[in-house]
Amino acid sequence: MSDSLYDSFIADYYDESPIVKGRVQDVAFYRNAARDFGDPILELGCGTGRITMALAEAGKRITGLDLSGRMLERAVKKRAALRVEARERVHLVQGDMARFDLGEKFRLVIIPFRPFQHLLEVRQQMDCLECVRKHLASGGRLILDVFQTDAERMHDPVHMREVPLTEYETADGRHVRISERVAAFHRAEQRNDVEMIFSITHRDGRQERLVFAWPLRYFFRYEVEHLLARCGFKVAARYGDFDRSPIRDDSPEMIFVAETR
């Protein structure tokens, strides 16, 4: 069904990467949000189910939607490993977050770890928010996170040079080095072509270089607020990090909690 860029080697390396494994604060944040706002929950861009399974284990009914069949295959395996009561609370769907109709209302819709930044066009972003609005129960909340844009970082040619990010060993003994570079800047479109380069040494010594290349849409605070307003939402709270601190100059994140007007 999908032509998702995540239907690639990245699905096999995603969960074990320290970049993903190290993200524990957002799991706690979304678990607290689920406690505060209730279920059923819809998670858009659920990927391998990193957040999905944590919320199911916390007792919440959750539907995870993702475009990528390969990311969802991972999620299916994780669901199978849950205790039976938690397993029955998880529903996984393949679909496009900018065009879905699940025929169900949710108390909470979440878009964790930046899937919204894969929606490059304003029309797609608005389609997504309109779909969310149709799926929200009365008084329900939408929470989405994007990174706070550092404008200098978005344009400086120094970032075209490949820089090492992290390295790790997979459970089956592959050594992985990840580096990153910006391949092209598209300032007028608020989008950069980013490459994450995986240099892999297999157990038999074979070397492999795999590149995950994707267009990254970056957002500014008031742009997101205007976009939400345009789609019938008002911002109930905003945070600069998962510790719920305010958005400051050096905040890494922009997290919006929105409700319908």
Ligand X SMILES: C[S@@+](CC[C@H](N)C(=O)[O-])C[C@H]1O[C@@H](n2cnc3c(N)ncnc32)[C@H](O)[C@@H]1O
Q: Nearest distance from residue 128's CB to ligand X, in Å? A: 8
The count of residues interacting with ligand X (CB under 6 A) is: 19
- Asked if residue 96 binds ligand X (CB under 6 A), the reply is yes
Spatial distance between the Cα atoms of 255 and 87, rounded to a whole number of angstroms: 28
Q: Nearest distance from residue 49's CB to ligand X, in Å? A: 8
Q: Of the ranges 77-85, 109-117, 134-142, 193-201, which one interacts with ligand X (CB under 6 A)?
A: 109-117
Q: Of the ranges 111-119, 139-147, 226-234, 235-243, which one interacts with ligand X (CB under 6 A)?
A: 111-119
- Asked if residue 40 binds ligand X (CB under 6 A), the reply is no
- Asked if residue 47 binds ligand X (CB under 6 A), the reply is yes
Q: Nearest distance from residue 45's CB to ligand X, in Å? A: 3
Spatial distance between the Cα atoms of 117 and 147, rounded to a whole number of angstroms: 9
- Asked if residue 53 binds ligand X (CB under 6 A), the reply is no
Spatial distance between the Cα atoms of 94 and 2, rounded to a whole number of angstroms: 8
- Judged by CB under 6 A, which of 17, 34, 41, 50 binds ligand X? 50
**Residue numbers 54-93 binding ligand X by CB under 6 A:** 66-68, 71
- Asked if residue 45 binds ligand X (CB under 6 A), the reply is yes
Both tokens assigned to 73: 């295959």
- Asked if residue 51 binds ligand X (CB under 6 A), the reply is yes
- Asked if residue 97 binds ligand X (CB under 6 A), the reply is yes
Closest residue to ligand X using C-beta atoms: 47
- Asked if residue 4 binds ligand X (CB under 6 A), the reply is yes
- Judged by CB under 6 A, which of 60, 78, 107, 118 binds ligand X? 118
Q: 3-state SS string over the chain?
A: CCCCCCCCCHHHHCCCCHHHHCCCHHHHHHHHHHHHHCCCEEEECCCCCHHHHHHHHCCCCEEEEECCHHHHHHHHHHHHCCCHHHHCCEEEEECECCECCCCCCEEEEEECCCHHHHCCCHHHHHHHHHHHHHHEEEEEEEEEEEECCCHHHHHCHHHHCCEEEEEEECCCCCEEEEEEEEEEEEHHHCEEEEEEEEEEECCCCCEEEEEEEEEEECCCHHHHHHHHHHCCEEEEEEECCCCCCCCCCCCCEEEEEEEEC
- Judged by CB under 6 A, which of 6, 37, 106, 239 binds ligand X? 6
- Asked if residue 253 binds ligand X (CB under 6 A), the reply is no
Interface ranges with ligand X (CB under 6 A): 4, 6, 45-47, 50-51, 66-68, 71, 96-98, 112-115, 118
